[in-house]
Structure 1
Amino acid sequence: MTESRTDSAATPVAGSSTHSMSEAGAYLAVENLTVEFPTPDGPVRAVNGLSYTVGMGQTLGIVGESGSGKSVSSMAVLGLHDAKLTKITGSIRIGEKEVVGLSESGMRKLRGNAVSMIFQDALAALHPFYRVGSQLAEAYQVHHTKSSKRDARRKAIEMLDRVGIPQPDKRVDDFPHQFSGGMRQRAMIAMGLINDPSLLIADEPTTALDVTVQAQILDLLQDLQREFNSAVIIITHDLGVVAEMADDVLVMYAGRAVEYGSTKQILSHPEMPYTWGLLSSIPDVQSDTDARLIPIPGNPPSLLNPPSGCSFHPRCAHRDKVPGNLCATQLPELTPASNGTAHVKRCHLPDPDAIYQTEVLPEIAPDLVEEN
């Protein structure tokens, strides 16, 4: 379904992780995933029929507004939902192992080892009562039970040094509050990579960081991905991050995939009105200083009572262009986009290119502007 800008996803490089590959070169394969939570007002289907793949050395960017199901779907990959309360159906294959329905002890063997996650709030993710080095060492020893405390501490110092923490042999004994925001994020990356995982999920890794530190963190992730040849999923609201890092982009809305394709396809020829809204709401640094932002009207739908038909139709300015009121009555399927590539979109509009003409914004994707 996806089209990567490189062929690394299908061909592991020498020195890459020893975790096995699944079929068709995809290390992670999510098929028809549904995640449903019970609430006093009724069930909430936070993820609905989601499918995607990520290969070794490949980066997938997942974008969408808050509540679209980005983090919920990724937490399902790591088995972080309460199995007694959460109903999960579909398939999630990590390597050759099916993890939907896997026991907690089975997930613990994978979590932090074959697959790891960098959480959004590093200050909340790191325990305030324990030294940073102790937390990294613990993450290492869980999967290297024969290693000594000295070996684990040495590994923690090595990882802190690798992610750019100055004086790692001294800072290893600091508490999280003694680290700056950027340093805490680097420590979270070190913890995520300490066991050389084949799959790394980064959930808003640059949230609350200034632009200089954001750039440093993104450069670090790219450098480490090249070193470990990991498959990477980056969850973000920032299309600039996607333009810089991702090979493929998955756009989510109301728990479903609404557009999916290579980064170049999505940014230069989007065919779903929701994706148009995300791109149009980005400030244009070259426009008139008095120009207003163009927000997406309305609010995301309640997943307790989602709208009929296309979930986006109550907010879509183009629904009247589709005959027969299809947008309000019939859920569109994911269908191939008009450019004849692996790009797919969930929309009833018969000819999106006739309605929306876009230029890749140079401030978020200068390389793609030069290619076009």
Structure 2
Amino acid sequence: MEKRIIGMAAFTVAGAAISAFTVLLSMLLFQQSTYIYVGIIAAALLIFGNVLISGAFQRLSTTMKIVLPLLLFVLPLAGYGGYEAYIDHIEIENAEVDLTAYEPFRKETKAVRLEQPSSFTLKENLPELDGATALYPVYSAFVRAVYPENEYPHDNTLDSEVAVSKTPGAYNRLAAQNVDMIFAAGPSEKQESKLRPEMEQTAIGKEAFVFFVHDSNPVQSLTVEELRGIYSGDITNWEEVGGKNQEIIAFQRPDGSGSQTGLQKMMDGKKIMDPPSDHRVSGMGGVIEKASSYRNHRNAIGFSYRYFSTQMKENNNIKLLKVNDVPPDVPSIKNDEYPLSSEFYAITNGTDNPNVPPFIDWILSEEGQTIIEKTGYVPLGEN
């Protein structure tokens, strides 16, 4: 009996030391939650080993010999995995912006307005509009200035002339000619292949494609080549670009989303690495939450557009990186100094609505450009 007690004590001390070292190593080398799984397995092994040394396992019934490993290993691991999945779900559900606040004629709407009534208005045959989440505040303000006052629920593509299907949905609706015009970044190659030869995209404003990290990350600036290296998988540790010795967690968006298309264009033909499924986030707000949340990854990097990340989904736990030492601010976008500045567009696909051409002309006029500027984007012709 004494030998078993001594054996159990020695096993516990040695096992605890090895487990502590393993947990610490996993905290340094892997994603933030990996050490918890390692800790669960280590604790289960300690308990199971002591049960074996004590001889208690041999006295268990056949059923209990099967049940005990399940209780020690499977249930804790499955339970924590389920908890993580639930928290991820809650985070993403809470991450996206409530676009209802930007609906054009809603009381106390966030959509901006002109100081004077618009010189161009529509009363009937209203163009059907759709677009990207980040551009909804802009085209909602266009509607507020030009369309008759009415309810235009952003989430009702059947009954509303002004909806938000996000970039992939908006391009799908445009390709099917279910809308007259969308507001988005330029199409991906796949999206463009589905549009008619009559497709036209008219640049209406300028914006910056931005990368962000947790505020505690010491890295302040990356070059375009370094960004390409990170998203191709050639650069995997922050130490390689002047940061801490930590793995880089590079989040992405689904193919066809406006920001993922922006990433593809930034890569300039260089192959983007395939991310793990939990590193591909459906919404831009979700990417910001992933990069900013303590629960997730302080060694993460994500991407979005400047206006969305600073105005629509403001988060003090992230910081926008400079690119080639140039900050993504309004002056650098105006002067084309920020290397990832780009235009955004009003895009049509062979619409026969006669009100669309004069509407686009008005958007390009001083009044339309004023709305773009008041919303927080950069108007054209500001060099």
TM-score normalised by length of structure 2: 0.25
Question: Rg: which structure is higher?
Answer: 2
Tell me which protein shows more helix as a share of its residues. Answer: 2
Tell me which protein shows more strand as a share of its residues. Answer: 1
TM-score normalised by length of structure 1: 0.25
